[in-house]
Structure 1
Amino acid sequence: MIGTRGFKYIFSVVLFMFGSYAVFGAGSPPKSQTVTICQGSVVVLNASTLNAIAYQWYFNGQPIVAATQNKYAADKEGVYKVVALNDQSCSSDASDEVIVQFEAHAVLNFPAIADKIFGDAPFQLSATATGKITYTVSPNNVIQIIDNYVTIIGVGTVEITASVEGSKNCPNTIIVKQTLKVKPVSILASAINPVDLAIVTSSETRIVNIEEPFEYTLNIKNQSAYDATQVSITDTLPAAVDFISIKNASDGKATYDAASRAITWTMTELQARTGSELRFSVKAIQHGTIANMARITSIEKDSNPVNNISIDYKDFAGMTIPNVFTPNGDGRNDTFSIPDLSQYPQNELLVINRWGASVYQAKNYQNTWTGDRLDDGTYFYSLKVINKKGMQEEYKGYVMLLRKSI
């Protein structure tokens, strides 16, 4: 017998998660209610209806064996429904669907770290995770961690904690700890030529566009009272720039290896209290902020390894401004549209004709100029934008207005 008389469903969905619970909804549910729970958790489905003496729960359209109570603990992803039975063995219509889906826990892998020696070069932590990793260290007088780069500043044993925050459905923070031991330099090694080598990496301060050559400069100095021998400076170029040429090396020899993209500058000796300089030319092949890191080492242990590495951050202008548009109403190229302008919401566009008269001007330009009421021809623009550092950049050029599509 099939009937619905006397049946009125009231659903509540309670999510149990690591000892806590949250009520997702009560009363008549929507046609399809979706509940997301953390993988490995259970959601309790609760059906209540008048005149019911038994229930039958369904999973993906199939009856669940022995699931005849008003509550059912769902631990699988899928679609759940329930049917109620009254004392006359009449069954109700199936309830609306409750869709249960899982969210995976965050994953964090933090391998063990090999012992280090005071004076070793900075190194990178190799933890991987499904979310953003945060590092902390205790105590804080042996190493410094910036992003995932570690600089050794002392001797001792520290505990490094890597953590990834959970989500709304899987709120537990994932934590993995590793121990790092930094050993002291042997007495003999530290007593022989305790040099202090420093390097500063810098780039030209002018605004540089992509495909435009510019120079990096590496300045090195031996700040100690002892000569440094077998000095080596390495600069592995970031992928966003292409090497052009080495300009000059004040001392020693500088070479570029295309396979490794590394500039290596070597010298047999850098005398006490002296310095040297290397300049080389590159060009940017993509816009944005690019970090270039260089490192200096010698055969001697360094008494202050913190200044053995230097990073230069350079912003590259990324505007690609078209030199023609065709406002003829065909739906293609009908406006003077600058693709990357959305990255610079603070902008001002000025367009003049060949006699210097302004024909269009807009602040916060939105790629909408159609050249309305202007003759076909060549016009000249000045585009000023404020970059992410709050500095003004200006782009000048020409654009052709042609109503015949090309």
Structure 2
Amino acid sequence: MLKRGTAFILFLCGYCLTAAGQSVPIRYIMPGQQVKLSATSVNAPRYQWYRDGMALPGAFQQDYVTATPGKYTVEAYGGGGCISDLSDPVIIAEITGRGPDADMQINKTADNGAFKLNSTFNYYLTIANNGPADATGIVVTDKLPPQVSLELLSVPTLGTATYQPGDHTVVWKINSLQASMAASLSIKVKVIATGQITNTATVAAVEQDNALQNNQSTHQLLVLPLHIPNAITPNGDGINDVFEISGLEQYPENELIILNRWGNHVFEQKGYTQNWSGKGLNEGTYFYLLRVKDGIGRWQEFKGYITLLKP
């Protein structure tokens, strides 16, 4: 038998509304979209649903389906005329234009390491919806800097990404992204010019976003104007006789280490004077580690191989 004060629960799509004094839950629907409300109580043979405090004619079942915005409550009737307390309310609100806020965030990173002319690396884009609402119509725009060319546009974890060669821009679109969810995309590029490379990507969605400070992310990379050969031929003809690194004179604080295939150091020099010719060594492949202090005081490391060819 139901008595006043009996615990009474209203369910909306899995959300349980029980605690008095809490803010009223809101469920947003599109125009014409239906939502089902469900009530549970102990041995209740009949229910009465209310919208905005008014009893709904014929709404006597445990479930009630509606497409009409309003504040809904329900009570249950038991034997002997007993009536439960009125349930906590839930609000059904219709989206007419912009819906509830969705805080979109973007983060742009790249491969670690130092890069030189004609080397390749990957940019990484990660977007997240910090909520509270789901986001729709998401567009990510990444205008690539002129110092790089696109090598490969990967398949994103959500949505589709395309490259617009006319304005050198990657456009990534996602139909929807639930609150607290994320998605990612990688872009492989080739360095075609040296200097400071600045790349900014932005994200936007249909929903209102009141935290615009995280809707764009910028990555900066300084590519030094160095040309590092991958072979030398010390035959005395004056061409490629030594391991000459073009542009190194601009960075006097540097260090060069050359190792053989077993990892043994065969040459080391701080303030490299462009003088390594592989003298006394067998021809073959050697590995170099070049450390350079750039114009803003950071050490950059370049790694690679050099082939020693002897006549």
Coarse TM-score class (shorter-chain normalised)? 0.5 to 0.7
Counterpart of 1:382 in structure 2: which amino acid? Y
Asked if residue 248 in structure 1 is aligned to residue 149 in structure 2, the reply is no
User: Matches of 2:142 and 2:116 in 1, distance apart?
Assistant: 22
Q: Deviations over 1:253-279 (max 9, x none)?
A: 111111111110112222222221112
* Alignment-mate amino acid for residue 100 of structure 2: N
1:235 maps to: 142
Matching residue of 1:268: 175
- CA gap 1:338/1:209 in 2 versus in 1, 3 angstroms: closer
Partner residue of 1:212 out of 96, 100, 119:
119
Alpha-carbon shift at residue 317 of structure 1 (Å): 6.2
> Could you list the per-position Cα deviations for residues 188-240 of structure 1 after superposition, in whole angstroms to 9, with x for gaps in the alignment?
99974222111001111244444333222111111121122211100011111
Length-normalised TM-score, structure 2: 0.56
User: Is contact 1:220-1:276 (8 Å) kept?
Assistant: yes
Which AA in structure 1 matches 2:305?
Answer: K
- 8 Å Cα contact 2:103-2:131 kept in structure 1: yes
Cα pair 1:229 1:298 within 8 Å, conserved: yes
Q: In the alignment, is residue 321 of structure 1 matched against residue 222 of structure 2?
A: no
Cα deviation 1:331-359 (Å, max 9, x = unaligned): x7665421121243222335678999977
Shift of the 338–189 alpha-carbon distance from structure 1 to 2, 3 Å rule, reads farther
Identify which of structures 1 and 2 has the higher relative contact order when contacts are C-alpha pairs closer than 8 Å and 6+ apart. Answer: 2
Q: Secondary structure at the match of 1:198?
A: strand
Matching of residue 386 in structure 1 with residue 292 in structure 2 = yes
User: Residue type matched to 1:397 in 2?
Assistant: I
Deviations 1:126-181 (A, max 9, x none): xxxxxxxxxxxxxxxxxxxxxxxxxxxxxxxxxxxxxxxxxxxxxxxxxxxxxxxx
CA separation in 2, counterparts of 1:355 and 1:297? 52
Q: Is the 8 A contact 1:349 1:381 kept in 2?
A: no
Q: Is the 8 A contact 2:232 2:277 kept in 1?
A: no
Q: Which stretch of structure 1 is more off in the superposition, 260-269 or 377-386?
A: 377-386
Query: Residues 342, 395 of structure 1: CA spacing in aligned structure 2 closer, same or farther, 3 A cutoff?
Result: farther
C-alpha contact 1:287 1:316 (8 A) present in aligned 2: yes
Give 2:252's match in structure 1, choosing from 345, 363, 368. 345
Runs of 4+, deviation exceeding 6 Å: 188-191, 352-359
- Please list every run of 5 or more consecutive structure 2 residues that lacks an aligned counterpart in the other structure: 1-94
Aligned to 1:199: 106
- Tell me, in whole angstroms, the C-alpha distance in 1 between the residues paired with 2:100 and 2:187: 30
Query: How far apart are the structure 2 equivalents of 1:289 and 1:398?
Result: 30
**Identity level (%):** 27
Q: What is the CA distance between 1:384 and its match in structure 2?
A: 2.4
Shift of 1:282: 1.7
Deviation at 1:303, TM superposition (A): 0.3
Q: 1:288 to 1:378 in 2, by over 3 A?
A: farther
- Contact (CA 8 Å) 1:190, 1:301: kept in 2 or not? no
Contact preservation (8 Å) 1:376, 1:400:
no
- Displacement after TM superposition at 1:376 (Å): 10
Letter in 2 for 1:386: V
Superposed counterparts of 1:301-316, under 5 Å: 301-316=208-223
Residue 299 of structure 2 aligns to a residue whose secondary structure is coil
- Partner residue, 1:183: none
Q: Which runs of 5+ in 1 are unaligned?
A: 1-187
- Aligned letter for 1:384? L
Instruction: Give distance in 2, aligned partners of 1:232 and 1:219.
Output: 13
Aligned length: 212
CA RMSD, 1 decimal:
3.6
**For residues 294-305 of structure 1, what are the structure 2 equivalents within 5 Å?**
294-305=201-212
Which position in structure 1 is the counterpart of 2:198? 291
- Secondary structure in 1 matching 2:217: strand
Distance 1:312 1:357, change over 3 A: closer
User: Which amino acid counterpart does residue 362 of structure 1 have in structure 2?
Assistant: Q
Deviations 1:70-99 (A, max 9, x none): xxxxxxxxxxxxxxxxxxxxxxxxxxxxxx
Paired AA for residue 232 in structure 2: V
1:203–1:233 distance in 2 versus 1, CA, 3 Å: same
Given that 1:346 and 1:386 are in contact with CA atoms closer than 8 Å, whether structure 2 keeps it comes out as: yes
Alpha-carbon distance in 2 for matches of 1:264, 1:385:
37
Pair 325,340 (structure 1): closer, same or farther in 2 beyond 3 Å: farther
